[in-house]
Amino acid sequence: MANIGVYVELKDNQFKKSNKEALSLAKKSGADVYAVIFSNDPGQFADVLKGVKKVVQVKNDDLSYQPDLYADTLAKIITEFNLNDFIGVNSAQGKDLFPRIAAKIENAGLVMDCVEMDLANRTVTKPVYAGKLLSKYVMDNPFRLYTIRPNVFPASASDSEAAPEITVFEAVKNPPRAKIVEIIKSGAKKIDLQEADIIVSGGRGIKAKENFALLQELAEVLKAGVGASRAAVDAEFATYDMQVGQTGKVVNPKLYIACGISGAIQHFVGMKTSKVIVAINKDPEAPIFKKADYGIVGDLFKVVPLLKEELQKNL
Amino acid sequence: MNIYVAIKQVPDTEASLLVKDGVSINETDIKWILSPYDEYALEEALKLKEKIPGSTVTVISLGPNRVESAIRTGLAMGAENAIHIETAEPFPDHKIIAAALGNAIKQDAGYGIIFMGKQAIDDDSYLTHIYLAEHLGIPVATNVIAFNHDNGKVVVEREIDEGAREKIEMSVPCVVGATKGLNTPRYASLMGIMKAKKIPIKKLSLQDAGIAQLDNKIKREKLYAPPEKPQGRIIPGEPEDAVKELVRVLKEEAKVL
């Protein structure tokens, strides 16, 4: 039986939630699971790594993300340990890293942003045209790599208590082609929209940049991320990293609250897999109401503060 | 510098798509556009050309005959050369696509910077620019939102999670995967459009681009529409009451709070 590898992405030395989804998926397959982690102290993650057969620990003086070092090292690990299936998360780092690994292994194939996987039959499904359609691929490659979309696959607790064995692996240090020289943090502490459980989003109906503060306040009560439609970004009410839609982020939270968003297809495809969609819009004819699970027809400048108050009482 | 921009033609973002024969879209009545991220790539290439005297911008695309209109759009915006790798049908193995593009660029002239959109908005695969760089053995930065070229060195900013950015240094030649926010693409002028019509397009077959045999390792088995969401409901009443009811249903019915 082939082995399955999972790339454990750490962010500021924290275990990303979607790693658990990737690990659960791998463990469910019944094959031996290898978790690959770039950390000088993987013991701190022992609890979440239960049920994994082997932890491949990559040690280095400097473990900050450098694409060439990470890709060269992972390509070597995949071929040396025969990790015929290798799973990661479709995060900003995963999207940068996985194609590089796939390129370095002859005949390796990669499909990113998977929402369905059948490892035994070598088929995967991913959204295309921003989710207007789904495409199922069959992969005829000896080494198959995937990134999974966060919040899609269940993260189940391990039923095995077995602690994994740890193998130390030296990082491959070829001269780097490109070098990350600095991380520029954004001013405000933002919630990652692709991992968020709840998103509050604003459209053209927000009318001005300052009014996003209203959504920010609602988001704080809900511990939600704040998103925006393309119309709001193009009008410069919001920044591009907030844009949800075909030319922005594709998100799938449990709850998506669209405020003053008309619901153009370009926006809808970016959030339609949300479990529950709520629309607040003063135009009863807005297309968003055809797509929302619950709608309130009303002025968002009245409804949003009321909603915030009601939630403060009830949460 | 010989600057290249690899572009892709895609259905318009507003297009509704229907599946034909289970594996491809019905192309009848589709309005085709240049993939939006490729417009940012092209704009950045044109800006760089204006900065470095004697530079040229070449657009390159792979696909069936229809992609010629996307190539003409690129020429109308200001590129002066074009290469079209002709294929009968689109195919999904991005390693082969990247190899063909890379070989064609390598054969053409000494290349400097290759710009591309970070992804095309049809397959949304985010692969080709990285595969292209790896095929040529040169550096690549993805999701680039700021670009600077000075003294033969490239410094870019790449958007990562939560609005943070990575600052990356690369040497030339290299590949830059453009995203929205990098610049504001120009419109083609009428004169540009007229001029673009007369520019000859260099036509290559896949064989010319070094792909002897099309051996797709990844094949599309099925293309289908996801299930429609059932129609939701409007919560009636004055805002005060509607909001109370909304919070109740979110907690009790939908159980998302």
Domain annotation covers residue A263: yes
Residues of chain B in contact with residue A130, where contact means CB-CB under 8 angstroms, are 13, 121, 124
Residues of chain A in contact with residue B171, where contact means CB-CB under 8 angstroms, are 177
Sorted by sequence, the CB contacts under 8 Å of residue A245 that are 6+ apart come out as A130, A229, A230, A266, A267, A268, A269, A270, A271
| Per-residue tokens: A226 | 């704040």
Burial profile B223-253: b = 16 or more Cβ within 10 angstroms, e = fewer? beeeeeeeebeebeeebeebbbebbebbeee
Structure confidence at residue A129 (pLDDT): 92
At A303, which helix (H) or strand (E)?
helix A300-314
Residues A36, A132, single domain; the answer is yes
Dihedral over Cα of A26, A28, A30, A32: its sign? positive
Residues A16, A149, single domain; the answer is yes
Helices of type H across A31-141: 67-80, 92-104
pLDDT, tens digit, 9 for 90 and up, residues B46-101: 999 999 999 999 999 999 999 999 999 999 999 999 999 999 877 778 999 999 99
- Higher-pLDDT residue of A156 and B87 is B87
Integer Cα distance of B145 and B165 in angstroms: 9
C-alpha distance from residue B121 to each of A24, A64, A130, B15, B108 (Å)? 30, 31, 7, 12, 27
pLDDT, tens digit, 9 for 90 and up, residues A71-122: 999 999 999 999 999 999 999 999 999 999 999 999 899 999 999 999 999 9
Domain annotation covers residue A160: yes
What value does the mean pLDDT take over residues A223-239? 95
Q: What is the CB neighbour count within 10 angstroms for residue B28?
A: 7
Integer Cα distance of B104 and B101 in angstroms: 5
Domain annotation covers residue A175: no
Q: Is A305 on the interface with B (CB under 8 A)?
A: no
Residues A222, A131, single domain; the answer is no
Q: Is B223 on the interface with A (CB under 8 A)?
A: yes
Domain annotation covers residue A183: no
Distance from the first to the final alpha carbon of chain A? 48
Residues A50, A157, single domain; the answer is yes
CA angle B7, B181, B149 (to 5 degrees): 75
Residues A159, A204, single domain; the answer is no
Q: Is A260 on the interface with B (CB under 8 A)?
A: no
What value does the mean pLDDT take over residues A21-50? 91
Q: Is B244 on the interface with A (CB under 8 A)?
A: yes
Domain annotation covers residue A27: yes
Chain A / chain B CB contacts < 8 angstroms: 247
Are residues A183 and B165, on separate chains, in Cβ contact within 8 Å? yes
Integer Cα distance of A47 and A28 in angstroms: 18
Helices of type H across chain B: 36-51, 68-77, 94-108, 128-136, 190-198, 239-252
Task: Flag whether pLDDT at A257 surpasses 70.
Answer: yes
Q: Which residue of B has its CA nearest to A223?
A: B257
Range of the domain at A299: 198-314
Average pLDDT, chain A: 93
- Higher-pLDDT residue of A130 and B114 is B114
Integer Cα distance of B106 and B83 in angstroms: 12
Q: Is A300 on the interface with B (CB under 8 A)?
A: no
Calculate what percentage of chain A has a pLDDT beyond 90.
78
Domain annotation covers residue A184: no
Q: Is A110 on the interface with B (CB under 8 A)?
A: yes
Residues A165, A234, single domain; the answer is no
Q: Give the nearest partner residue to B246 out of A123, A135, A294, using CB atoms.
A: A294
Q: Which residue of B has its CA nearest to A180?
A: B168
Banded model confidence at residue B163, pLDDT cuts 50, 70, 90: confident
Asked whether the beta carbons of B57 and B112 are under 8 A apart, the reply is no
Length of chain A: 315
Q: Give the nearest partner residue to B169 out of A178, A183, A294, using CB atoms.
A: A178
Residues A150, A204, single domain; the answer is no
Task: Flag whether pLDDT at A222 surpasses 80.
Answer: yes
The residue of B27, B96, B162 whose CB has the most chain A CBs within 10 angstroms, and thus the best one to mutate to test that interface, is B162
* Domain total in chain A: 2
pLDDT, tens digit, 9 for 90 and up, residues B12-50: 988 889 999 999 999 999 999 999 999 999 999 999 999
Structure confidence at residue B161 (pLDDT): 81
For the entire predicted model, the pTM comes to 0.91
Banded model confidence at residue A162, pLDDT cuts 50, 70, 90: confident
Task: Flag whether pLDDT at A11 surpasses 90.
Answer: no
Q: Tokens 């025969």 label which residue?
A: A82
Residues A212, A126, single domain; the answer is no
Give me the torsion for CA of B159, B61, B4, A99, rounded to 10°. Answer: 40
Q: Give the nearest partner residue to B168 out of A136, A180, A292, using CB atoms.
A: A180
* B255, amino acid identity: K
Asked whether the beta carbons of B100 and B216 are under 8 A apart, the reply is no
Residues A160, A208, single domain; the answer is no
Q: Is B232 on the interface with A (CB under 8 A)?
A: yes
Residues A305, A233, single domain; the answer is yes
Weakest mean pLDDT among A287-291, B57-61, B137-141 = A287-291
pLDDT, tens digit, 9 for 90 and up, residues B165-215: 999 999 999 999 999 999 999 999 999 999 999 999 999 999 999 999 888
The answer for B 61-120 residues in CB contact with A (under 8 A) is 92-93, 95
The answer for A 141-170 residues in CB contact with B (under 8 A) is 141
Chosen domain end from A153, A170, A187: A170
The residue of A91, A106, A186, A242 whose CB has the most chain B CBs within 10 angstroms, and thus the best one to mutate to test that interface, is A186
Domain boundaries, chain B: 2-205, 228-257
Sorted by sequence, the CB contacts under 8 Å of residue A49 that are 6+ apart come out as A8, A23, A35, A42, A55, A163, A164
**Please, is A104 exposed, middle or buried when counting C-beta atoms within 10 Å of its C-beta (0-12, 13-18, 19+)?**
middle
Helices of type H across A36-190: 67-80, 92-104
Residues of chain B in contact with residue A138, where contact means CB-CB under 8 angstroms, are 218-219, 221
Asked whether the beta carbons of B41 and B115 are under 8 A apart, the reply is yes
Structure confidence at residue A1 (pLDDT): 56
Residues A153, A212, single domain; the answer is no
Helices of type H across A170-257: 212-222, 230-234
C-alpha distance from residue B127 to each of A4, A163, A196, B13, B214 (Å)? 22, 36, 25, 20, 18
Structure confidence at residue A314 (pLDDT): 87
Domain annotation covers residue A181: no
Q: What is the CATH number of the domain that holds A11?
A: 3.40.50.620
Residues A119, A240, single domain; the answer is no
Are residues B162 and A264, on separate chains, in Cβ contact within 8 Å? no
CATH of B2-205, one of 3.20.20.300, 1.10.10.10, 3.40.50.620, 3.50.50.60: 3.40.50.620
Domain annotation covers residue A149: yes
